[in-house]
Protein backbone atom coordinates (compact mmCIF):
# COMPACT_ATOMS: atom_id res chain seq x y z
CA UNK A 1 0.00 0.00 0.00
CA UNK A 2 1.38 3.37 -0.99
CA UNK A 3 1.24 6.08 1.62
CA UNK A 4 1.23 9.64 0.37
CA UNK A 5 3.01 12.04 2.75
CA UNK A 6 1.93 15.65 2.72
CA UNK A 7 4.70 18.17 2.08
CA UNK A 8 6.34 19.28 5.31
CA UNK A 9 4.13 21.95 6.85
CA UNK A 10 5.79 25.28 7.41
CA UNK A 11 5.53 26.76 10.82
CA UNK A 12 3.96 30.21 10.70
CA UNK A 13 6.49 33.00 11.05
CA UNK A 14 6.58 34.64 14.41
CA UNK A 15 5.22 38.16 14.51
CA UNK A 16 7.96 40.69 15.40
CA UNK A 17 7.72 42.43 18.76
CA UNK A 18 9.95 44.91 20.56
CA UNK A 19 10.63 44.41 24.27
CA UNK A 20 11.63 47.52 26.20
CA UNK A 21 13.35 46.40 29.40
CA UNK A 22 13.31 48.99 32.16
CA UNK A 23 16.45 49.68 34.16
CA UNK A 24 16.69 49.91 37.08
CA UNK A 25 14.17 47.17 37.94
CA UNK A 26 13.75 44.41 40.50
CA UNK A 27 15.56 44.07 43.82
CA UNK A 28 16.55 47.23 45.66
CA UNK A 29 19.25 47.44 48.34
CA UNK A 30 16.74 47.17 51.19
CA UNK A 31 15.14 44.02 49.80
CA UNK A 32 18.51 42.47 49.01
CA UNK A 33 19.67 43.17 52.58
CA UNK A 34 16.49 41.69 54.11
CA UNK A 35 16.84 38.47 52.12
CA UNK A 36 20.52 38.19 53.05
CA UNK A 37 19.59 38.66 56.72
CA UNK A 38 17.26 35.63 56.60
CA UNK A 39 19.84 33.54 54.74
CA UNK A 40 22.66 34.52 57.10
CA UNK A 41 20.49 33.90 60.18
CA UNK A 42 19.78 30.35 58.97
CA UNK A 43 23.52 29.79 58.45
CA UNK A 44 24.34 31.13 61.91
CA UNK A 45 21.57 29.57 64.01
CA UNK A 46 20.33 26.76 61.81
CA UNK A 47 16.74 26.07 60.81
CA UNK A 48 14.11 26.97 61.63
CA UNK A 49 14.39 30.75 61.79
CA UNK A 50 11.11 32.60 62.25
CA UNK A 51 10.17 35.70 60.26
CA UNK A 52 7.41 38.03 61.42
CA UNK A 53 5.39 38.91 58.31
CA UNK A 54 6.61 38.18 54.76
CA UNK A 55 10.21 39.42 54.64
CA UNK A 56 9.33 41.13 51.33
CA UNK A 57 6.13 41.04 49.30
CA UNK A 58 7.02 38.34 46.80
CA UNK A 59 5.74 34.79 46.97
CA UNK A 60 8.66 33.36 44.97
CA UNK A 61 11.17 34.85 47.41
CA UNK A 62 9.17 33.63 50.41
CA UNK A 63 8.90 30.08 49.06
CA UNK A 64 12.65 29.93 48.37
CA UNK A 65 13.42 31.04 51.93
CA UNK A 66 10.88 28.56 53.32
CA UNK A 67 12.78 25.81 51.52
CA UNK A 68 15.97 26.95 53.30
CA UNK A 69 14.30 26.81 56.71
CA UNK A 70 12.46 30.10 57.26
CA UNK A 71 9.04 29.97 58.92
CA UNK A 72 6.78 32.97 58.26
CA UNK A 73 4.33 34.04 60.95
CA UNK A 74 2.16 37.09 61.60
CA UNK A 75 2.78 37.63 65.32
CA UNK A 76 5.50 36.94 67.88
CA UNK A 77 3.32 34.61 69.94
CA UNK A 78 3.54 32.14 67.04
CA UNK A 79 7.33 31.88 67.56
CA UNK A 80 8.99 29.53 70.06
CA UNK A 81 11.13 31.36 72.62
CA UNK A 82 14.26 29.37 71.77
CA UNK A 83 14.43 30.27 68.06
CA UNK A 84 15.52 33.54 66.43
CA UNK A 85 12.92 35.84 64.87
CA UNK A 86 13.44 38.39 62.11
CA UNK A 87 11.32 41.50 61.52
CA UNK A 88 10.42 42.23 57.89
CA UNK A 89 11.88 44.94 55.65
CA UNK A 90 8.70 47.02 56.00
CA UNK A 91 9.37 47.89 59.63
CA UNK A 92 7.40 47.13 62.80
CA UNK A 93 5.77 49.13 65.59
CA UNK A 94 8.01 49.77 68.61
CA UNK A 95 5.86 47.37 70.62
CA UNK A 96 7.17 44.39 68.62
CA UNK A 97 10.89 44.53 69.56
CA UNK A 98 9.80 45.55 73.09
CA UNK A 99 7.79 42.33 73.34
CA UNK A 100 10.69 40.30 71.92
CA UNK A 101 13.01 41.74 74.58
CA UNK A 102 10.46 41.08 77.31
CA UNK A 103 10.24 37.44 76.16
CA UNK A 104 14.08 37.28 75.99
CA UNK A 105 14.02 36.26 72.33
CA UNK A 106 16.90 36.52 69.89
CA UNK A 107 15.71 38.92 67.18
CA UNK A 108 17.13 40.68 64.13
CA UNK A 109 15.51 43.76 62.63
CA UNK A 110 15.54 43.66 58.80
CA UNK A 111 13.74 47.01 58.45
CA UNK A 112 15.02 48.84 55.37
CA UNK A 113 17.32 51.68 56.49
CA UNK A 114 15.28 54.11 54.38
CA UNK A 115 12.13 53.11 56.30
CA UNK A 116 14.06 53.52 59.55
CA UNK A 117 14.93 57.04 58.37
CA UNK A 118 11.20 57.87 58.24
CA UNK A 119 10.79 56.47 61.77
CA UNK A 120 13.59 58.72 63.02
CA UNK A 121 12.05 61.75 61.29
CA UNK A 122 8.64 61.09 62.82
CA UNK A 123 10.18 60.83 66.27
CA UNK A 124 12.14 64.06 65.72
CA UNK A 125 8.95 65.92 64.78
CA UNK A 126 7.13 64.45 67.78
CA UNK A 127 9.90 65.50 70.18
CA UNK A 128 9.74 69.00 68.68
CA UNK A 129 6.05 69.16 69.61
CA UNK A 130 4.72 68.92 66.05
CA UNK A 131 1.60 67.17 64.86
CA UNK A 132 2.55 64.63 62.19
CA UNK A 133 0.83 63.79 58.91
CA UNK A 134 1.77 60.50 57.24
CA UNK A 135 1.03 60.21 53.52
CA UNK A 136 0.49 56.53 52.79
CA UNK A 137 -1.89 53.60 52.36
CA UNK A 138 -3.93 52.31 55.29
CA UNK A 139 -3.14 48.74 56.30
CA UNK A 140 0.24 48.57 54.56
CA UNK A 141 2.86 47.03 56.92
CA UNK A 142 5.17 50.02 56.46
CA UNK A 143 2.40 52.44 57.49
CA UNK A 144 1.49 50.27 60.49
CA UNK A 145 5.17 50.23 61.50
CA UNK A 146 5.63 53.99 61.12
CA UNK A 147 2.45 54.88 63.02
CA UNK A 148 3.51 52.41 65.71
CA UNK A 149 6.68 54.36 66.46
CA UNK A 150 4.70 56.95 68.44
CA UNK A 151 1.76 57.07 70.85
CA UNK A 152 -1.73 56.64 69.37
CA UNK A 153 -3.01 59.88 67.88
CA UNK A 154 0.42 61.41 67.27
CA UNK A 155 0.26 60.61 63.53
CA UNK A 156 -2.67 61.24 61.16
CA UNK A 157 -2.77 59.13 57.98
CA UNK A 158 -3.75 60.87 54.74
CA UNK A 159 -4.31 58.71 51.64
CA UNK A 160 -5.71 61.06 48.98
CA UNK A 161 -5.65 64.64 47.74
CA UNK A 162 -9.16 64.97 49.13
CA UNK A 163 -7.85 63.92 52.54
CA UNK A 164 -5.17 66.62 52.28
CA UNK A 165 -7.78 69.25 51.36
CA UNK A 166 -10.06 68.30 54.28
CA UNK A 167 -7.45 67.75 56.99
CA UNK A 168 -7.79 70.05 60.01
CA UNK A 169 -4.75 70.08 62.33
CA UNK A 170 -4.92 71.00 65.97
CA UNK A 171 -2.33 73.77 65.49
CA UNK A 172 -1.35 74.65 61.88
CA UNK A 173 1.82 76.35 63.14
CA UNK A 174 3.11 73.05 64.59
CA UNK A 175 2.64 70.65 61.69
CA UNK A 176 4.93 68.24 59.82
CA UNK A 177 4.67 65.45 57.27
CA UNK A 178 6.42 62.20 56.40
CA UNK A 179 5.57 59.68 53.68
CA UNK A 180 5.53 55.98 52.96
CA UNK A 181 8.66 55.11 50.94
CA UNK A 182 6.91 53.23 48.10
CA UNK A 183 4.31 55.71 46.86
CA UNK A 184 3.72 57.21 43.43
CA UNK A 185 6.12 60.16 43.17
CA UNK A 186 3.57 62.22 41.22
CA UNK A 187 0.60 61.44 43.48
CA UNK A 188 2.63 62.25 46.57
CA UNK A 189 3.88 65.53 45.09
CA UNK A 190 0.27 66.50 44.44
CA UNK A 191 -0.69 65.82 48.06
CA UNK A 192 2.36 67.63 49.41
CA UNK A 193 1.52 70.65 47.23
CA UNK A 194 -1.96 70.80 48.78
CA UNK A 195 -0.57 70.61 52.32
CA UNK A 196 2.06 73.28 51.61
CA UNK A 197 -0.56 75.57 50.04
CA UNK A 198 -2.87 75.19 53.01
CA UNK A 199 -0.13 75.19 55.66
CA UNK A 200 2.90 77.13 54.33
CA UNK A 201 4.90 76.48 57.50
CA UNK A 202 4.53 72.68 57.46
CA UNK A 203 7.85 70.96 58.24
CA UNK A 204 9.05 68.67 55.46
CA UNK A 205 11.58 65.81 55.53
CA UNK A 206 15.23 66.87 55.20
CA UNK A 207 15.37 64.55 52.19
CA UNK A 208 12.39 63.11 50.32
CA UNK A 209 10.99 60.00 52.02
CA UNK A 210 10.05 58.15 48.82
CA UNK A 211 13.08 55.94 48.40
CA UNK A 212 15.59 56.14 45.56
CA UNK A 213 14.56 52.70 44.25
CA UNK A 214 10.87 53.58 44.00
CA UNK A 215 11.73 56.83 42.21
CA UNK A 216 14.19 55.18 39.80
CA UNK A 217 11.80 52.38 38.85
CA UNK A 218 9.01 54.84 38.20
CA UNK A 219 11.33 57.05 36.12
CA UNK A 220 12.35 54.03 34.02
CA UNK A 221 8.71 53.14 33.38
CA UNK A 222 7.93 56.73 32.39
CA UNK A 223 10.84 56.66 29.93
CA UNK A 224 9.43 53.69 28.03
CA UNK A 225 5.66 54.00 28.58
CA UNK A 226 4.87 56.31 25.64
CA UNK A 227 6.45 53.82 23.23
CA UNK A 228 4.72 50.78 24.78
CA UNK A 229 1.38 49.32 23.78
CA UNK A 230 1.54 47.15 26.89
CA UNK A 231 3.65 47.32 30.07
CA UNK A 232 4.05 44.18 32.19
CA UNK A 233 5.12 44.68 35.79
CA UNK A 234 6.34 41.62 37.69
CA UNK A 235 5.32 41.86 41.32
CA UNK A 236 2.76 41.04 43.98
CA UNK A 237 -0.60 42.78 44.43
CA UNK A 238 0.53 43.29 48.06
CA UNK A 239 3.64 45.14 46.88
CA UNK A 240 2.89 48.88 46.96
CA UNK A 241 5.80 49.85 44.70
CA UNK A 242 4.78 47.22 42.10
CA UNK A 243 1.14 48.36 42.00
CA UNK A 244 2.31 51.96 41.61
CA UNK A 245 4.43 50.98 38.57
CA UNK A 246 1.30 49.83 36.71
CA UNK A 247 -0.44 53.11 37.53
CA UNK A 248 2.60 55.13 36.46
CA UNK A 249 2.84 53.25 33.15
CA UNK A 250 -0.77 53.99 32.22
CA UNK A 251 -0.52 57.61 33.28
CA UNK A 252 2.70 58.05 31.28
CA UNK A 253 1.12 56.90 28.02
CA UNK A 254 1.10 53.10 27.86
CA UNK A 255 -2.05 51.77 26.22
CA UNK A 256 -2.31 49.03 28.83
CA UNK A 257 -0.47 47.94 31.96
CA UNK A 258 -0.74 44.65 33.85
CA UNK A 259 0.68 43.31 37.10
CA UNK A 260 1.81 39.66 36.94
CA UNK A 261 3.44 37.46 39.56
CA UNK A 262 5.36 35.59 36.85
CA UNK A 263 5.23 34.58 33.18
CA UNK A 264 2.61 31.97 34.14
CA UNK A 265 0.12 34.75 34.85
CA UNK A 266 0.33 36.40 31.43
CA UNK A 267 -2.87 36.40 29.41
CA UNK A 268 -1.58 36.25 25.85
CA UNK A 269 -4.81 37.85 24.63
CA UNK A 270 -3.28 41.08 25.98
CA UNK A 271 -0.79 40.89 23.09
CA UNK A 272 -3.32 41.34 20.30
CA UNK A 273 -2.07 44.30 18.22
CA UNK A 274 0.87 44.81 20.58
CA UNK A 275 4.03 45.75 18.72
CA UNK A 276 6.02 47.04 21.70
CA UNK A 277 5.85 45.64 25.22
CA UNK A 278 7.56 47.19 28.23
CA UNK A 279 8.85 44.91 30.98
CA UNK A 280 9.85 45.85 34.52
CA UNK A 281 9.78 44.39 38.02
CA UNK A 282 8.93 45.76 41.43
CA UNK A 283 11.63 46.15 44.06
CA UNK A 284 10.87 42.76 45.65
CA UNK A 285 10.83 40.71 42.43
CA UNK A 286 13.91 38.60 41.55
CA UNK A 287 15.61 38.93 38.16
CA UNK A 288 15.02 35.30 37.19
CA UNK A 289 11.28 36.09 36.92
CA UNK A 290 12.14 38.84 34.43
CA UNK A 291 14.28 36.42 32.42
CA UNK A 292 11.47 33.84 32.40
CA UNK A 293 8.98 36.45 31.15
CA UNK A 294 11.27 37.56 28.32
CA UNK A 295 11.83 33.91 27.34
CA UNK A 296 8.05 33.31 27.30
CA UNK A 297 7.53 36.31 25.01
CA UNK A 298 10.41 35.25 22.76
CA UNK A 299 8.91 31.75 22.45
CA UNK A 300 5.79 33.26 20.88
CA UNK A 301 7.17 36.25 18.98
CA UNK A 302 10.23 37.33 17.05
CA UNK A 303 11.47 39.44 19.95
CA UNK A 304 14.02 42.22 19.97
CA UNK A 305 15.09 43.38 23.44
CA UNK A 306 16.23 46.94 24.16
CA UNK A 307 17.14 48.17 27.64
CA UNK A 308 15.81 51.57 28.69
CA UNK A 309 18.12 52.77 31.47
CA UNK A 310 17.59 56.01 33.35
CA UNK A 311 20.28 55.62 36.01
CA UNK A 312 22.71 53.15 37.57
CA UNK A 313 22.19 52.08 41.16
CA UNK A 314 25.12 51.30 43.45
CA UNK A 315 23.47 51.50 46.88
CA UNK A 316 24.41 48.72 49.33
CA UNK A 317 23.22 48.42 52.93
CA UNK A 318 25.33 46.63 55.54
CA UNK A 319 24.02 43.62 57.40
CA UNK A 320 23.35 43.92 61.16
CA UNK A 321 26.47 43.46 63.25
CA UNK A 322 25.00 40.37 64.98
CA UNK A 323 25.11 38.50 61.65
CA UNK A 324 28.58 39.47 60.47
CA UNK A 325 30.56 38.99 63.67
**Residues forming the active site:** 142
Cα–Cα distance measured from residue 85 to residue 62, given in angstroms and rounded to the nearest whole number: 15
Q: Give the separation between CA 1 and CA 265, rounded to whole angstroms.
A: 49
Paired strand residues for 303: 17
β-bridge pairing 256-260 and 302-309 = unpaired
Buried b (16+ CB within 10 A) or exposed e, 272-311: eebebbbbbbbbbbbeebbeebbebbeeebebeeeebebe
> How many CA atoms, within 13 angstroms, populate the side-chain half-sphere of residue 184?
20
> What is the distance, to the nearest Å, from the Cα of residue 146 to the centroid of all Cα atoms in its chain?
16
Amino acid sequence: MRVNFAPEARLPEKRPISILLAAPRGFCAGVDRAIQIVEQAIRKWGAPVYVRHEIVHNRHVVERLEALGAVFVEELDECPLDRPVIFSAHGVPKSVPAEARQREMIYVDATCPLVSKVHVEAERHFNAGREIVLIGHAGHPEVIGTMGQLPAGAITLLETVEDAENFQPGDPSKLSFVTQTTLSVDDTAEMVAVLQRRFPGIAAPHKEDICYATTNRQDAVKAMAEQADLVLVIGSPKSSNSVRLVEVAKRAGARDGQLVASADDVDWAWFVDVRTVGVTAGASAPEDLVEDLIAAIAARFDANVEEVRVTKEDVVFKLPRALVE
